[in-house]
């Protein structure tokens, strides 16, 4: 990252730090500078400050420029995920299993963000358009925002828990009830940071399930999430003794014959894509999961 240093002029006195940076270095938006300031990469007199800091004449501002978004580094996969719906504000896709949602350090990793970066106007370098996530080996419906205003509009709905999210999961065994509400709080494990665990000290995690089919040793569940905790379905059902089939983190280490990943699919999403415009999107079970079910 390139460094910069400049001294506040009398004309800039009394103005906010983020506003001055966006004017002084206009190749980066105010939102990009906000992100840079919050991450501690901009300082005044060598001290970290807030975006709302009111400037004084002769103050020395120094730090690092935001990184430029390089869509050549956000490499798209060989096949772009199927688009279920697209307009000027959103793109709804059927994410394939095996594709990460956004890079985490390795900028050249194929990702959903990289696949659609050229269609999104967003200030987030590594997560353009991303408003929610699916695990790498989970397939199904995802919505992306094509601009900053829509991103904030969609994120507010996920935060308010007004988005309806339905998953299909094949779990081990048969549960005591064919339908039930699950309220098991979750937090990240200190012993294994990759896992989430059920604990009274965790954050609220609420799910409801209905058994839609039963097989010898397996149950196909339709699950609605009312919260969006990391690994919520996987960790809660593993805790209940019914892990998702093929889940090597929460279930058994091996995969059953005919299955190459966890049997978890985001099948439906209902969300307001613009004020007063509620849309329902769905994606059928992909071939690999459908084929596995047929052999049970």
Per residue in 159-197, pLDDT (tens digit) is 999 999 999 999 999 999 999 999 999 999 999 999 999
pLDDT above 70 for 75:
no
What's the rounded Cα separation, in Å, for the pair 119 and 85?
A: 13
Which pair of tokens denotes residue 109? 């990793």
10-19, 178-187, 211-220: lowest mean pLDDT where?
10-19
Q: Would you identify the CATH topology of the domain 161-296?
A: Pseudouridine synthase (3.30.2350)
Give the pLDDT mean for 132-161.
96
Residues 6+ apart with CB under 8 A from 176: none
Q: Of 278, 7, 10, give the one whose Cα is nearest residue 154.
A: 278
What's the rounded Cα separation, in Å, for the pair 233 and 225?
A: 8
Give the pLDDT mean for 264-286.
97
Position of tokens 């990943």? 261
Class of the domain covering 3-64: alpha beta
Give the pLDDT mean for 132-140.
96
Q: Of 183, 122, 109, 186, give the one whose Cα is nearest residue 154.
A: 122
Q: Helices marked H in 215-274 — which ranges?
A: 232-239
Whether 135 is catalytic is: yes
Predicted pLDDT at 79 = 59
| HSE value, Cβ hemisphere, 13 Å, CA-based, for 217 | 4
Predicted pLDDT at 108 = 61
Q: Would you identify the CATH topology of the domain 69-160?
A: Pseudouridine synthase (3.30.2350)
What's the rounded Cα separation, in Å, for the pair 25 and 268?
A: 43
Largest CA distance in the chain: 77
Predicted pLDDT at 71 = 45
Predicted pLDDT at 118 = 84
Q: Helices marked H in 161-286 — which ranges?
A: 232-239
Q: Of 30, 106, 124, 144, give the one whose Cα is nearest residue 69.
A: 124
pLDDT digit string (tens) for 22-72?
A: 888 877 777 778 888 988 899 999 999 999 999 999 999 999 887 755 444
pTM, two decimal places: 0.75
Are 69-160 and 161-296 equal in CATH topology?
A: yes
Give the pLDDT mean for 238-244.
97
Given the residues 18, 122, 135, 137, select the one marked as catalytic: 135
Predicted pLDDT at 1 = 63
Q: What are the domain boundaries of the chain?
A: 3-64, 69-160, 161-296
């Amino acid at each position: 990252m390139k460094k910069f240093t400049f001294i506040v002029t009398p004309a800039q006195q009394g103005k906010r730090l983020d506003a001055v940076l966006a004017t002084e270095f206009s190749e980066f938006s105010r939102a990009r500078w906000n992100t840079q300031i919050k991450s501690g990469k901009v300082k005044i007199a060598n001290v970290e400050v807030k975006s709302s800091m009111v400037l004084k004449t002769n103050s020395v501002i120094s730090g690092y420029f935001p990184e430029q978004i390089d869509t050549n580094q956000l490499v798209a996969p060989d096949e772009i995920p199927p688009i279920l719906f697209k307009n000027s504000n959103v793109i709804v896709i059927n994410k394939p299993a095996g594709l990460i949602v956004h890079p985490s350090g390795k900028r050249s990793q194929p990702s959903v963000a990289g696949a659609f970066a050229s269609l999104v106007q967003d200030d987030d370098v590594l997560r353009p358009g991303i408003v929610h996530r699916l695990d790498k080996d989970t397939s199904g419906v995802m919505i992306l925002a094509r601009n900053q205003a829509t991103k904030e509009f969609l994120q507010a709905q996920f935060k308010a828990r007004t988005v309806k999210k339905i998953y299909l999961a094949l779990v081990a065994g048969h549960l005591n009830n064919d339908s039930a509400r699950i309220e098991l709080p979750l937090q990240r494990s200190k012993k294994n940071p990759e896992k989430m665990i059920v604990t009274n000290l965790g954050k609220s995690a609420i799910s409801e399930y209905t058994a839609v089919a039963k097989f010898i040793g397996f149950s196909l569940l339709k699950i609605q999430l009312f919260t969006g905790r990391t690994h919520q379905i996987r960790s809660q059902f593993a805790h209940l003794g019914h892990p998702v089939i093929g889940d090597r983190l929460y279930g058994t280490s091996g995969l059953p014959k005919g299955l190459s990943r966890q049997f978890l699919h985001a099948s439906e999403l209902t969300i307001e894509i613009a004020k007063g415009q509620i849309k329902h999107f769905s994606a059928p079970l992909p071939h690999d999961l459908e084929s596995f079910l047929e052999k049970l």
